[in-house]
Structure 1
């Protein structure tokens, strides 16, 4: 009689997790691919329905993208817009996070600054485009300042909201254990506020893309906003589609990179993105 030996040893936990993560990753990629194909199909139908003068087809847009890439226009536009967005958004984070922590913790400061924050955050950056050009010129400074303006208030509001949402019992428990103000900030307030900061950073990134187009249309020779405006002047609908789609793809990539970096760097705070 042949004896069949069955290995009943369970797989190691790490191996099971890796296998599960791989399956989830493949499923996500498959869903993304299906979603993109459906979108391209709808896009093609709209192009067939309204004609190339109104809606450039996927093939025409791809051909125009290749044309602009060979000339170097598309690459230069992507680099110029990305640089402006990252600098302005980064400055918004660098100022907004400390300011939000400060405002959220000190009531008097919050009451003094709240009228200005609530006033300026309702004024769209495009309203300041002319003043930015007059005050700072048509160089990089005016566009970076506009992106900083659109980012900083979002970050401040989200960060201060996170600070004020910290449970009072946690603060009292830390104080009763002898923690000073700095230790409470690092050990209690900041970990609880991290999800709010990440949300503010993502929202600020989205608003930065909205602002860069209006800023570059008015005061730039190079950039995706300038590309869209120039294409409109030349009647090149396919170039307009290239600029719009490039903005969307670039924003999608920036947001995903932000989520990956944040999840890895801030994992010790218990943040799940």
Structure 2
């Protein structure tokens, strides 16, 4: 019985998946030079070099600062707009054609324009992240508003609640799980976007590190940057989920 519990815990932790990945990576690296595919030990040594020199920490702080600014701005814009579009037909008629068109245009397609409009400094990168964030957040917010059980709305109105009160006591709370999903998706979009932006127009950041490491044939640094991004994304999402469960549990966030 105890053995079965231990096996289940190991399976749930994903440890076996990581062990298999490391094994495949190690075996695969035997057939290539370190410049093409460094093994895990060489990659770890490269990561240590970046950490001890302070470069990795600097790049992490720069990238995450840009992500936080663009993500926060995107949430502050997309959630209110999504609530309005989802709740009012006139807003749906006005905004949804633009939403349904531009959400299929990737942020990377606007890099050149944003560099032209905002310059090569921080504004262009934050604006690009803002653009990448607003669509998943807005779409999920609209879906959350429209998925509210109409019987709840009718019940509130039959008891004399105004439309405003019904919105804040029924519609908005019911939409929170969908909004929270959009917030999480927006964060992943922000991290993906900053890598592309920093590869093309930056002098610092994880995207810049990954892109410029090829010039020195430091494939181990490229892998270190990639794994750092994955780790940051994983930890950020876990933190969001923890906060969601702790503070939004009564609204149905799990």
Query: Normalization by structure 1: what TM-score?
Result: 0.87
1:112 aligns with 2:79: no
Q: CA 1:29/1:258 → structure 2, altered by over 3 Å: closer, same or farther?
A: farther
Alignment of 1:49-68 (within 5 A): 49-68=31-50
Aligned equivalents of 2:21, 2:11: Cα separation in 1: 15
Aligned equivalents of 1:63, 1:190: Cα separation in 2: 50
**2:180–2:253 contact (8 Å) kept in structure 1:** no
1:152 aligns with 2:134: yes
Aligned to 1:46: 28
Q: CA 1:228/1:164 → structure 2, altered by over 3 Å: closer, same or farther?
A: same
**2:213–2:222 contact (8 Å) kept in structure 1:** yes
Aligned equivalents of 2:202, 2:11: Cα separation in 1: 37
- 1:120-144 per-position Cα deviation (integer Å, ceiling 9, x unaligned): 1111111111111111111111111
- 1:102-130 per-position Cα deviation (integer Å, ceiling 9, x unaligned): 10010011111111111111111111111
Aligned to 1:142: 124
Question: How many equivalent residue pairs?
Answer: 249
Aligned equivalents of 2:116, 2:215: Cα separation in 1: 24
Alignment of 1:95-106 (within 5 A): 95-106=77-88
1:125 aligns with 2:103: no
**2:177–2:252 contact (8 Å) kept in structure 1:** no
Aligned with 1:269 (options 225, 230, 251): 251
Aligned equivalents of 1:123, 1:256: Cα separation in 2: 29
Alignment of 1:1-273 (within 5 A): 27=9, 31-272=13-254
Aligned equivalents of 2:100, 2:12: Cα separation in 1: 43
Aligned equivalents of 2:207, 2:134: Cα separation in 1: 22
1:54 is displaced (CA, Å) by 1.4
Aligned equivalents of 2:169, 2:178: Cα separation in 1: 16
Q: CA 1:107/1:219 → structure 2, altered by over 3 Å: closer, same or farther?
A: same
1:52 is displaced (CA, Å) by 1.3
Aligned equivalents of 2:10, 2:75: Cα separation in 1: 30
Instruction: Show structure 2 runs of 5+ residues with no match.
Output: none
Aligned equivalents of 1:136, 1:246: Cα separation in 2: 28
Aligned equivalents of 1:230, 1:66: Cα separation in 2: 18
1:50 is displaced (CA, Å) by 2.5
Report the aligned-residue RMSD. Answer: 1.7
Aligned equivalents of 2:236, 2:13: Cα separation in 1: 20
**Bigger-Rg structure (1/2):** 1
Aligned equivalents of 1:252, 1:29: Cα separation in 2: 18
